[in-house]
Every structure is written in structure tokens, then in C-alpha cells.
Structure 1
Amino acid sequence: MIQEFKDFIAKGNVMDMAVGIIIGAAFTAIVTSLVGDIINPIIALFTGGIDFSGWFYPLDGNEYASLEAAAEAGAPVFAVGSFIMAVINFFIIAFVVFMLVKMVNRVKAAAEKPDEVAPEVKTGPSELDVLLEIRDALKR
């Protein structure tokens, strides 16, 4: 059983997956910081700093000053604003990831593109043209 486990771990695809998960975790931190620290403040500048996370509806009928106060009181709430902010952040993150993937694909395509060979310059008629001329001359 131990040998079988060693064989499983030693397979290349398991190691590739592990590396992918680690890189993915680091990439998640970068994208989260990009969205939270750079893009969201720019959006807040244009929207006047609208923060939907304060929109909530307590289900127990009481009034609370904030979502945090309702959470401290243990009140059940519909945190509609938090959901809206999560959806907005999802679309922002999805767009950022889309742009990054597009950029990486462009770089990959440029790296895989073979060196362009200068087209041959024809100095005269091709072999086919000469043969066609001979044929036509013989017909005449």
C-alpha cells in the first residue's frame, strides 16, 4: 500500500496539479489585491463611494444600526448588500482574469510563432510558366 501511494504521488500529473494549486493560491492573492486595492477605489471614485454592504433586512423585526450590530445581536438578516457586493466583485475579478488570460495567450502565441521567412522574390518566369509557353509554341 505504501508503494502504491509512492507511485501515485510520483506521477507527473499529481505534481503538476500540486504546483497549479499553489500557483493558483498565490495568483488569487494578487487578483484579490488588484481588485480590492486598485480597481474598487477607482470605481468608488466614479460612483461616489457607494457601498452596498450596508443594505440588510433584519428578519426579527428589530432595527439595527449596522449589519455588524445585527450580527452581534445574533439576529437573522438578509444581507442583500453583501450579496450585491460579492456579485460585483465576481464580475470585476472575472474581467481581470479574462484580461490576464488574454494577455498570456497573446504572449504564448508570439513565443510559438515561427520566425517569419522573407518571401522569395521571383526573378523570372517559373518552371511551370516556361513549360506552358513551350507547349503553346508547339501547338502553334
Structure 2
Amino acid sequence: MWKEFKEFALKGNVLDLAVGVVIGAAFGKIVTSLVNDIIMPVISVFTKGLNFENLFVSLDGSKYATLAAAKDAGAATLNYGLFISNIIDFLIIAFSIFIVVRQLNRFTKKKEEPAPKKTKQCKYCFSEIHIDATKCPHCTSDMK
């Protein structure tokens, strides 16, 4: 059983997947920082200081100054500001991955060679016939 597990764990696909997960997690942290530390403050400037993290609806009917105050009071909240922030985060990650994959595909795209011809044209009736044919099946001309 140990030998089978070792063979499975050391296959190229499993190692590639593990590397991808680690790099993806690190990339996610970078993008989250980009959203929270750079993009959202800029958006906040254009929305006159609106902090997305403090956009919420308290379900107990009370008013709270911040989301932290509502959580400290034990109030149930709908955190639509955090949801908006996560949507922006997702869109940036998806766009970044699209750009990376697009560039990788550009470098790895192989030039496809045209498939060998399987037909030829009869010089008398202009019909398409098999490349190895010696007589045209349509006009019975010799194709030698």
C-alpha cells in the first residue's frame, strides 16, 4: 500500500497540482491585498469615503456605526459591502488568470501542419476522387 501511495504521490500530475494550489493561494493573497489596499481605497475616494466593509444591514432592527460594533452586539447582519468587495476580488483574479493563460497559450501554441490530401480532382469532370484512384468513378477517365 505504501508503494502504491508513493507512486501516486510522485506522479507528475499530482506534483503539478500541488504546485498549482500553492501558487494559487499565494496569488489569491496578492490579489486580495491589491483589492483591499489599493483598489477599494481609490473607489472609496470616488464614493466620498464610503467604506465597503461597513455596508451592512442589521437584521435586529438596531443601528450600528460599524460592522464590528454589530458583531460585538451579537446582531445578525447582511454584509453586502463585503460581498461587493469579494465580487471585485473575484473579477480581478479571474481577469488576471485569463491574461496569464492567454499569454501561456500564445507561447505554447503549436503550428498545425495541414492534413495530407486524401482526394484529388478529376481533370476531365472536375469531381473529387480518392488520391489513389486510377479511374474517375464519375466519368470513367483514366487518372494515370
TM-score (normalizing by structure 2): 0.60
Paired residue for 1:33? 33
Instruction: Say whether residues 1:104 and 2:104 are aligned partners.
Output: yes
Paired residue for 1:61? 61
Paired residue for 1:19? 19
Paired residue for 2:122? none
* Aligned partner letter, 2:59: L
Q: How far 1:54 moved relative to its partner?
A: 1.6
Whether the 8 Å CA contact 2:35–2:88 is kept in 1: the answer is no
**SS in structure 2 of the partner of residue 99 of structure 1:** helix
5+ long unaligned stretches in structure 2: 112-144
Q: How far 1:68 moved relative to its partner?
A: 0.7
Paired residue for 2:50? 50
Which structure is higher in RCO with an 8 Å CA cutoff and minimum separation 6?
A: 1
Alpha-carbon separation, structure 1, partners of 2:102 and 2:14: 27
Paired residue for 2:82? 82
Q: How far 1:60 moved relative to its partner?
A: 1.3
Q: How far 1:76 moved relative to its partner?
A: 0.7
Alpha-carbon separation, structure 2, partners of 1:9 and 1:109: 27
Distance 1:16 1:37, change over 3 A: same
Q: Which runs of structure 1 show a deviation greater than 3 angstroms over 4 or more consecutive aligned residues?
A: 33-50, 103-106
* Aligned partner letter, 2:90: F
Q: How far 1:24 moved relative to its partner?
A: 1.9
Whether the 8 Å CA contact 1:53–1:84 is kept in 2: the answer is no
The percentage of counterpart residues that share the same residue type is: 53
Whether the 8 Å CA contact 1:35–1:93 is kept in 2: the answer is no
Paired residue for 2:123? none
State the superposition RMSD in angstroms: 2.7
- Higher strand proportion: 2
Q: How far 1:45 moved relative to its partner?
A: 4.5
Whether the 8 Å CA contact 1:53–1:81 is kept in 2: the answer is yes
Residues 72-112 of structure 1, C-alpha deviations (whole Å, 9 max, x = no match): 11111111222122222222332233233333333x158x6
TM-score (normalizing by structure 1): 0.61
